[in-house]
Chains A and B, each alone.
Chain A
């Protein structure tokens, strides 16, 4: 039961991100639906499921998007793991928690990617990237998470 669900979430999420989501861009900022999926699934299924889902989604995203393979797999695996561990410290039943997790997760995802990209001598400055890409995307993802927690599949357990 779980495996088809994960398969659907991973493949569907990646396809949606690469085809439909770019249309939802506002002022050049496109949300990262996959971060929201990883965070919400991790909050519900735990750190290991979050880590694997993040890795799989990120890997697919890297492969389809043409970026360095493993970059988003790494960042999303980490945020999936941390988000999955969150119910130990926070009351995830409170709707603020998943929304805040999506915002902070997006920032963390951006920061990890930037840090890893330094190995490959990525040219842009972090401050520039943070202000013009990561932060607006984090806000957008927060809004998406707020909308998504209304769906039963993403509703976190008390």
Chain B
């Protein structure tokens, strides 16, 4: 009997377990309110389950927070990249808009002027203190003449000093070697507008001439045959006391030559008064 038991021990145990299961299944059929065993197990398990669930919820919450933080970080990075791209686009757009405004103004001036002009773009600047010049992308092939006046919507920029094949060098009005015949608009007092080494200009008048005061506008007088009459040159900022043969007045240039990017080139030797084109603008 013992031998039989040990031979079939495992099967007997399985049978006992199955039997126990069936007994439990059948027994609870007669007790619809449930078994004390199930209730007991549930009573013990419930608080442990609750604690487990709390820990689990906490872990899930932490994980969710981490995922959200990660997503937010990715979003922030994406947004930063987008902002940078948009800023660059905005800068490009601003640049285009500003170029558009400048070109429109220049085009309007070109249409107002009663003479044929050539438009040019500034491609280089010579800015060393001793000389002040611009290089433009028009030259002999475009029909440019030496000494042709160069203007923008604000007034005179300078004159063409050297014409090359496809470019030209423009001497600025602020170049110390530049000298243009000018007239004070209010009093018609005439003098010479010269460049000063610091990048400004001055009006040199005969000592007896007193018709100049700060705020006066100075235009080209047309004398000399290079610049037509009536182009704005600058505004008087200070008048010095006469010394020797001359009286000197400091001028603020009508054009900020440092920021000029596009110019118009007038034909050389135009004698008519072009002031109307500027006062309309």
- List chain A positions with a Cβ less than 8 A from chain B: 11, 14-16, 18-20, 23, 47-48, 51-52, 55, 58-60, 62-64, 66, 68-71, 73-74, 77-78, 81, 116, 119-120
B:29-62 near A, CB below 8 Å: 29, 35, 37-38, 41-42, 45, 48-49, 52-53, 56, 60
Contact of A48 among B10, B53, B56 (CB under 8 A): B10
Complex CA–CA separation, A147 to B220 (angstroms): 92
Instruction: Check: B21 CB closer than 8 A to any chain A CB.
Output: yes
| B-chain residues with CB within 8 Å of residue A20 when the two chains form the complex | 52, 56
Are B10 and A64 touching (Cβ within 8 A)? no
| A-chain residues with CB within 8 Å of residue B245 when the two chains form the complex | none
| B-chain residues with CB within 8 Å of residue A19 when the two chains form the complex | 49, 52-53, 56
Q: Contacts A51-B13, A62-B38, A63-B41 given; indicate if A15 touches B48 (C-beta within 8 A).
A: yes
Are B53 and A74 touching (Cβ within 8 A)? no
| B-chain residues with CB within 8 Å of residue A73 when the two chains form the complex | 17, 20-21, 24
| B-chain residues with CB within 8 Å of residue A18 when the two chains form the complex | 45, 49
Are A81 and B25 touching (Cβ within 8 A)? no
| B-chain residues with CB within 8 Å of residue A55 when the two chains form the complex | 17, 20-21
Complex CA–CA separation, A58 to B38 (angstroms): 12
| B-chain residues with CB within 8 Å of residue A81 when the two chains form the complex | 10, 14, 17
- A19 → chain B, closest Cβ, in Å? 5
| B-chain residues with CB within 8 Å of residue A15 when the two chains form the complex | 45, 48-49, 52
Interface of B is mostly: helix
| B-chain residues with CB within 8 Å of residue A47 when the two chains form the complex | 10, 14
Interface residues contributed by chain B, number (CB under 8 Å) = 26
- A111 → chain B, closest Cβ, in Å? 15
Are A51 and B56 touching (Cβ within 8 A)? no
Complex CA–CA separation, A55 to B22 (angstroms): 12
Q: Contacts A52-B17, A55-B17, A78-B14 given; indicate if A70 touches B24 (C-beta within 8 A).
A: yes
CB nearest to B19 among chain A residues = A74
Instruction: Check: B23 CB closer than 8 A to any chain A CB.
Output: yes
Are A119 and B25 touching (Cβ within 8 A)? yes
- A104 → chain B, closest Cβ, in Å? 18
Instruction: Check: B18 CB closer than 8 A to any chain A CB.
Output: yes
| B-chain residues with CB within 8 Å of residue A63 when the two chains form the complex | 37-38, 41-42, 45
Q: Which of A11, A19, A60: most chain B Cβ within 10 A?
A: A19
Instruction: Check: B81 CB closer than 8 A to any chain A CB.
Output: no
B:5-19 near A, CB below 8 Å: 9-10, 13-14, 17-18
CB nearest to A68 among chain B residues = B25
